[in-house]
Structure 1
Amino acid sequence: MKFADDIFVADITDFDATRQAMHDFSAVIHLAGNSRIDQPWQDVYTSSIGGTYNVFEAARQVGIKKIIYASSSYVSAWQEVKQKKHVTPDMPVSPDTLYGVGKLFGETLGRYFAEKYNMSIICLRIGAFYVIPPPPKHSDDPILSTWCSANDLAQLVQKTLDTDNLGFQIFYGVSNNTRRLWDISNAEQLIGYKPQDDAERFLKLRKKNGC
Structure 2
Amino acid sequence: MAKRKVLVTGASGLIAGLLLPAFQERYDLTLLDVRTTNRLGQEIPGIQIADLTDRNRDNYRHHFQGVDTVVHCGFVRAADENDPDQRFWAEFANVQMAYNVYQVSWEEGVRRVVVASSNHAADYYEPLILDHKMDVVTPDMRALSDNYYGWAKEAYEHLGFVFAVGKVNAALAPGVQQRIGHHGGATILDRAQGRPLENVQIRIGGPRETDVANCPKGDLRCMRRALAAYISQRDLQQLFIKSIETEDIRDENGVPFQIFYGVSNNPHAFWSIVNARKVIGYEPQDNSEVRFHALVTEHIRAAQEKERQGTQKPETE
1:130-149 counterparts in 2 under 5 A? 130-131=208-209, 133-135=211-213, 136-137=215-216, 138-141=219-222, 142-149=225-232
* Inter-partner Cα distance in structure 2 for 1:49 and 1:151: 28
| 1:45 maps to which of 92, 99, 112 | 92
| 1:23 maps to which of 65, 72, 85 | 65
Q: Is the 8 A contact 1:30 1:67 kept in 2?
A: yes
Identity %: 31
Q: Is the 8 A contact 1:145 1:177 kept in 2?
A: yes
Per the alignment, residue 282 of structure 2 pairs with 193
Query: Aligned residues, how many?
Result: 208
| 2:127 maps to which of 65, 81, 97 | 81
Does the C-alpha gap of structure 1 residues 157 and 147 become closer, same or farther in structure 2, counting only changes over 3 Å? same
Asked if residue 176 in structure 1 is aligned to residue 265 in structure 2, the reply is: yes
Q: Is the 8 A contact 1:28 1:64 kept in 2?
A: yes
Deviations 1:14-64 (A, max 9, x none): 233442221221000001113678661110111x21111111111111110
Per the alignment, residue 11 of structure 1 pairs with 51
Does the C-alpha gap of structure 1 residues 92 and 122 become closer, same or farther in structure 2, counting only changes over 3 Å? same
* Inter-partner Cα distance in structure 2 for 1:181 and 1:35: 28
Does the C-alpha gap of structure 1 residues 4 and 133 become closer, same or farther in structure 2, counting only changes over 3 Å? same
Q: Is the 8 A contact 1:133 1:199 kept in 2?
A: no
User: RCO higher in 1 or 2 (8 Å CA, sep ≥ 6)?
Assistant: 1
Deviations 1:80-132 (A, max 9, x none): 33353121111111112100111111111100000013221001011112155
Structure 2 unaligned residues grouped into runs of 5+: 6-27, 31-45, 167-194, 250-255, 299-317
Does the C-alpha gap of structure 1 residues 134 and 9 become closer, same or farther in structure 2, counting only changes over 3 Å? farther
Asked if residue 104 in structure 1 is aligned to residue 154 in structure 2, the reply is: yes
Q: Which moved more, 1:199-208 or 1:179-188?
A: 199-208
Asked if residue 122 in structure 1 is aligned to residue 192 in structure 2, the reply is: no
* Inter-partner Cα distance in structure 2 for 1:122 and 1:41: 25
* Inter-partner Cα distance in structure 1 for 2:240 and 2:116: 10
- 1:174 Cα offset (Å): 0.8
RMSD: 2.2
Q: Is the 8 A contact 1:132 1:149 kept in 2?
A: no
Q: Which moved more, 1:129-138 or 1:144-153?
A: 129-138
Q: What is the DSSP-based 3-state SS (H/G/I as helix, E as strand, rest coil) of the residue aligned with 1:129?
A: coil
Structure 1 unaligned residues grouped into runs of 5+: none
TM-score by length of 2: 0.61
Does the C-alpha gap of structure 1 residues 23 and 7 become closer, same or farther in structure 2, counting only changes over 3 Å? farther
TM-score by length of 1: 0.89
* Inter-partner Cα distance in structure 2 for 1:111 and 1:30: 15
Q: Is the 8 A contact 2:163 2:196 kept in 1?
A: yes
Q: What is the DSSP-based 3-state SS (H/G/I as helix, E as strand, rest coil) of the residue aligned with 1:124?
A: strand
